[in-house]
Chains A and B, each alone.
Chain A
Amino acid sequence: NAGVTQTPKFRVLKTGQSMTLLCAQDMNHEYMYWYRQDPGMGLRLIHYSVGEGTTAKGEVPDGYNVSRLKKQNFLLGLESAAPSQTSVYFCASSYSVGLYNEQFFGPGTRLTVL
Chain B
Amino acid sequence: GENVEQHPSTLSVQEGDSAVIKCTYSDSASNYFPWYKQELGKGPQLIIDIRSNVGEKKDQRIAVTLNKTAKHFSLHITETQPEDSAVYFCAANGNNRLAFGKGNQVVVIP
Contact = CB atoms under 8 A, between A and B. Distances in A.
A45 B42 contact: no
Contacts of A41: 102
A108 B89 contact: no
Interface centre among B31, B42, B97, B103 (most CB of A within 10 A): B97
A9 to B, nearest CB: 10
A41 B87 CA distance: 12
Interface stretch (B44-52, B63-71, B76-84): B44-52
A102 B42 contact: no
A66 B99 CA distance: 20
Interface in A74-114: 90, 92, 97, 99-108
Contacts, number: 54
B62 to A, nearest CB: 16
A45 B19 CA distance: 28
A91 to B, nearest CB: 8
A108 to B, nearest CB: 5
A58 B1 CA distance: 11
Given A48-B97, A50-B96, A42 B46 contact: no
29 contacts: A33-B97, A40-B102, A41-B102, A42-B100, A42-B101, A42-B102, A43-B100, A43-B103, A44-B100, A45-B97, A48-B97, A50-B96, A58-B97, A90-B43, A99-B93, A100-B49, A100-B51, A100-B93, A101-B32, A102-B46, A103-B34, A103-B46, A104-B46, A105-B36, A105-B44, A105-B45, A107-B41, A107-B42, A107-B43
